[in-house]
């Protein structure tokens, strides 16, 4: 828990309350851990951190919390990293786009209208009904360049 994640947790509490979602203790703890990480964190890394707060937690605790948080839209899973990041905005979205810096490990979530439209156009043309999608863009962030 820190200055950065406390406001986020306040927001998350209200966000969940407004939707009938239960932000229980383990869920809130894991959310705090993901927020505080500030970059992608794996389930086992989160488990290790959680172990500093509660006694000897087990993997299912973290995985269940992450599943819940994902469904709630509070965290995203970066598939290409097997890791999780907090959603950068308090918005429902079934799709997400990430700029993943392979040098420093940071991930920036972006919202690109044109990207959204391009995917909509493509799926429509193919007669495909899109549920959710994600674009994971690997490369080098601004800071990490000469």
Partner DNA sequence: AAATTATTTGTCATATTTTAACGATAAGTT
Partner DNA sequence: AACTTATCGTTAAAATATGACAAATAATTT
Binding-site ranges for its own copies (CB under 8 A): 79-80, 97, 99, 101-102, 108, 110, 112, 114-115, 117-119, 121-123, 126-142, 145
> Which is closer to DNA, CB of 8 or CB of 84?
84
Cβ of 77: how many Cβ atoms within 10 Å? Answer: 18
Smallest distance, Å, CB 68 to DNA? 7
Q: Site mask, Zn ion, residues 113-142, x = CB under 5 A?
A: ----------------------------x-
| 3-class SS letters over 4-45 | CHHHHHHHHHHHHHCCCCCCCHHHHHHHHHHHHHCCCECHHH
> Which is closer to its own copies, CB of 53 or CB of 134?
134
């Amino acid at each position: 828990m820190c200055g950065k994640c406390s406001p986020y947790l306040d927001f998350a509490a209200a966000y969940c309350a407004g939707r009938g979602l239960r932000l229980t203790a383990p869920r809130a703890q894991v959310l705090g851990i993901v927020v505080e990480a500030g970059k992608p964190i794996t389930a086992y890394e989160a488990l290790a951190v959680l172990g500093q707060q509660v006694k000897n937690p087990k993997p299912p605790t973290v995985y269940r919390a992450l599943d819940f948080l994902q469904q709630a839209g509070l965290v995203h899973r970066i598939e290409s990293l097997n890791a999780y990041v907090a959603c950068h905005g308090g918005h429902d979205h079934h799709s997400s786009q990430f700029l993943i810096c392979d040098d420093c490990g940071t991930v920036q979530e972006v919202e690109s209208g044109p990207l959204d439209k391009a995917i909509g156009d493509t799926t429509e043309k193919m007669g495909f009904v899109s549920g959710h999608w994600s674009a994971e863009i690997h490369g080098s962030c601004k800071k990490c360049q000469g």
